[in-house]
Structure 1
Amino acid sequence: MKKKDKRREKKHVCRICKKFGVTEFHHIFYGQFRNKSEQLDLVIEVCPSCHREIHNNPKEFNWIKETTQQQFEKLNSHESWMQIFNRSWL
């Protein structure tokens, strides 16, 4: 994902507030895990307001990481998750 891809040109629905409008890509696992989020396509589209809120209050949005890990482990395994991230959010 390139920097220019941060904002969408077309309007979409925010995955958090469900409003229709301009969205940005949020890497579910950022910081040291950002590249892994990109490799595994672990990104969601959120409006700019929700995107700021996620980064300003990360503990309130841990459910996004938990849900992502649960979905991954339904298709793969906990062991696979741990090999990739070496951390559990559950």
Structure 2
Amino acid sequence: MWILAKRLWSVFTEDMEHCYFTGTPNCHRHHIFYGSRRQLSERYGFVIPVAAHLHEFAPGSIHDNPNKGLDLKLKQMAQAYFEEHYGTREEFRCIFGKSWL
């Protein structure tokens, strides 16, 4: 029996095979809102391909520096997209827990 991998998509790019920032191939798919909000990231397209070193392997990477630097930038990008395409800031807060803008 084959189990198919989930098809992740992004509101920020159609190319999920190359890092959004560097163009590096074979990158990680980062859920902008992770942990308990991972499924919400998938539902709204807040997943983005990033090079491994930007994701979790280098000092200052997304998971090394939560809610700051690149992680904060991505959350702000996602919230701005939400407010332009899906709903209000209050609706965003209700869904994602807080405002990043």
Pairwise same-fold verdict (TM > 0.5): yes
Inter-partner Cα distance in structure 2 for 1:88 and 1:35: 18
Task: Tell me the percent identity.
Answer: 35
Residue in structure 1 matching 2:50, options 46, 49, 60? 46
User: Segments of 4+ in structure 1 off by > 3 A?
Assistant: none
TM-score (norm 2): 0.68
Show the 5 A alignment for 1:70-85.
70-75=80-85, 76-85=87-96
TM-score (norm 1): 0.76
- Cα RMSD (Å): 2.1
- Larger fraction in helix: 1
Asked whether 1:19 is paired with 2:23, we answer yes
Deviation at 1:30, TM superposition (A): 0.7
What are the Cα deviations for residues 38-59 of structure 1, in whole angstroms up to 9, with x where unaligned? 2222100011111111111121
Deviation at 1:67, TM superposition (A): 1.3
Total equivalences in the alignment: 82
Deviation at 1:77, TM superposition (A): 1.9
Inter-partner Cα distance in structure 2 for 1:54 and 1:20: 16
Residue in structure 2 matching 1:60, options 63, 66, 69? 69
- Larger fraction in strand: 1
**CA 1:56–1:86 in 2, change beyond 3 Å: closer, same or farther?**
closer
Inter-partner Cα distance in structure 1 for 2:20 and 2:34: 17
Inter-partner Cα distance in structure 1 for 2:98 and 2:34: 13
